[in-house]
Chains A and B, each alone.
Chain A
Amino acid sequence: MVSTAATSTPPAPGSWLRYLGWSTDAKVIGIQYIATALIFLLVGGFLAMVIRGELITPEADLVDRTVYNALYTMHGTIMLFLFIFPVLNGLNNLLVPLMIGAPDMAFPRLNAVAFWMVPVFGLILMASFLVPGGPAASGWWSYPPVSLQNPLGILLNGQALWILAVALSGVSSIIGALNVVTTILRLRAPGMGLFRMPIFCWTALSAQLIQLAGLPVLTGGAVMLLLDLVAGTSFYRPEGGGDPVLYQHFFWFYSHPAVYVIILPIFGVFSELLPVYARKPLFGYTVVAIASLVIVGLSLIVWVHHMFPSGVAQWMRDLFMVTTMLIAVPTGIKVFAWVATLWRGKIRLTSAMLFALGGIVNFVFAGITGVMLATVPIDIHVNNTYFVVGHFHYVIYGAATMGVYAAIYHWFGKFTGRMLYEGLGKLHFVLTFIGTNLNFLPMHPLGLMGMPRRVSSYDPEFAFWNVLASLGAFILGVSIIPFLLNLVSSLVRGAKAPANPWNAIGLEWLLPSPPPAENFEEHIPTVLRGPYGYGSGEPLVEHQERYEQALREVAA
């Protein structure tokens, strides 16, 4: 029986110390990723608080201008490379093997190597605060010629450390992507064809395919930037025959699709949660799955929309405007599928569901401003203004980070064995939703009025909206408190999590919370049908009653 198998395996060492050391267990690595990412969320968030503190008054009075340049550069770099990517890699590690019925990732040792590169390049980036001249200060995209200045003329400058950290991040992400793609293609349970996979697995697959296609290009471009900075080459230096715009191509060829690497798994989270909390099958499963792959294809041919004002040819502007607008089609299909899933559902507003719904609302808003930005005349008008900053933060915080919170509230019990508190969760949601909109909505009128980004002082006519935005930012800062309190107090004395607290359908819910080290061990179930059979009453796997019986025995 499952119960005997579950108890006869030596349980993973219960000590929390295993999270501090080398482990090849995907469930340990997943939590290591998420914990590391949350620490860096606090670091990046602190920098954001200082930035918004500076911007609450028109004068540059809180920090020195050069410090301000470093602040926004490091804020963006930390949030992207040390918060959002690692946290999503954590979700991949926790969810993908369980959802497809695999015992672990395909390459457990490579998996651990990929994770441990994160603290290494994190420390390299943090160390740049200590070198003479301070950290990189040329914005998170590090365009030449600004990034090639090196005024102190030293080899180990903040910009060089920045490039090194980003290159290491790229290598780590490529290793992680190889692992996720191989796992999904080769380790699925019997009967689980591609079109029986949960949507999260589709989106993880799509996102990691983008990593494999895009990251090598950024890494190559970053190597050339490093050589220009420290070895005297002139790939991007016009005086030596180079071209600074070439770097922009390399950078955006990856860094635009990177946004889809971030948002696709969040689409997966929304698609997993909505059926559970609306008690209905996901509307249009096949179309939603295929839309993910369409987004992958389109994401690789839109990057020039970041360079409309960079002196690119008119035909490129026209072409990339059209391809960028086309992305609204597969994403729009997903939004319609979610709305149709909610339609006449029995909706339960748990913390996870609130975050998912709030994330979708914010995403729709970000999608609308995204189509505006794709339009060449509007883009040139609002280029380098707060309109772009507002749009981007609606995607990254309003949709992606809220989606991450939704995932944490939904699956926390599954992987820790403890339930999060719903009351604190709802407080966290309310503060986050209000804070996000108060912080980022005012950036849109500011951008339309022409307030440039990346400056620490501004004309007093912009003061009103900036005060609102700063208040919103401080609410976001406060919103982290109930979240952290919830995590800690739940781990210490939260209610024990049952195997299936949300009455959800999926392989991960056929295992105890937390699952045994090898998931289903030798009892890998045979999948009979696609996911989300809510309301059908049909079993997901062969002999499902035996798995459920075993869970009841474990519980008793």
Chain B
Amino acid sequence: MTSTSAGAAPGEAGGPGQNLGPGEASSTGHHAHPDHSLTGFVLFLASESLVFLAFFAGYAVLKNGALSWYPAGVEGLEWREPLRYTAVLLSSSGTIALAEHFLARGRLGLFRGFWLLTMAMGAVFLAGQVLEWRGLAFGFTDGVFANLFYLLTGFHGLHVAAGIVLMGVTLARSFTPSAGGGHKGLQAAGLFWHFVDVIWVVLFLLLYVWR
């Protein structure tokens, strides 16, 4: 935020303004800019959550207005198996928190272990998603419930995959600290992962619990 300290007035030697810090030096020969990527990332997540909110609202509107909801011959979704994968995804929010905890204590090995574990749990969730899709009796175009089911789980699955990639990149960067932007990247990946988890909770309630 705004600094009230006296900035550099013309004619005074040195005294960098509050804006100067390590950061990006762009290709046109700009001076170094401060790194505000985390602010931007939080704004992005807030904006992204509204895409999901739109899909959720659409789901509720269409379900409330529907004469028949599930495709012919389908009574409802099997929820026990998805619940297990849900448990895996939700616990991964805990493992990533542990990873960040160990990073703050400087225990790099444990950080990497739990970070990798989080990625693996995300991958298990995705695998479960694929198995569920393959076992379903209806396809993408079999009525509006099927449309919404595949759209919502697919869009969320893309986010899980993106989260795993993001974590992979930051993990790789932890071996080359000179790459820069490392800590901001870690924080961003952590935030993103919690975001993906929260979205899934709402999705699970809408798709599997709300009959």
Contact = CB atoms under 8 A, between A and B. Distances in A.
A186 B39 contact: yes
B144 A517 contact: no
A518 B147 CA distance: 50
A150 B19 CA distance: 53
A524 B8 contact: yes
B73 interface: no
Interface stretch (A236-244, A367-375, A530-538): A236-244
A24 B27 contact: yes
Interface centre among B36, B58, B62, B148 (most CB of A within 10 A): B58
Give 4 nearest A-B pairs by CB, closest first: A524-B17, A241-B144, A190-B7, A220-B54
Contacts of A234: 141, 143-144, 147
A191 B2 contact: yes
A241 B7 contact: no
Interface residues of A, number: 71
B58 A235 contact: yes
B137 interface: no
Contacts of A38: none
Contact of B30 (A22, A24, A186, A520): A24
B30 A109 contact: no
Given A213-B47, A235-B58, A241-B68, A517 B30 contact: yes
A246 interface: yes
A447 B78 CA distance: 55
A234 B51 CA distance: 19
Contacts of B200: none
Interface residues of B, number: 57
Given A241-B145, A523-B8, A212 B17 contact: no
B175 interface: no
A116 to B, nearest CB: 14
B132 interface: no
B50 interface: yes
Contacts of B58: 220-221, 224, 235, 246, 250
B50 A216 contact: yes
Interface of A: 1-2, 5, 10, 12, 22-25, 102-104, 106-110, 174, 177-179, 181-182, 185-194, 212-217, 219-221, 224, 227, 231-235, 240-243, 246, 249-250, 253, 517-518, 520-526, 542-543, 546-547, 550
Interface of B: 1-11, 16-20, 24, 26-31, 33-34, 36-37, 39-40, 43-44, 46-51, 53-55, 57-58, 61-62, 65-69, 140-141, 143-145, 147-148, 151
Contacts of A543: 9-11
Contact of A25 (B9, B11, B24, B30): B30
22 contacts: A1-B10, A23-B28, A24-B30, A104-B30, A106-B40, A109-B26, A177-B47, A178-B40, A178-B47, A194-B2, A212-B47, A219-B51, A220-B51, A220-B58, A221-B54, A227-B151, A241-B66, A241-B144, A246-B58, A524-B19, A542-B7, A546-B11
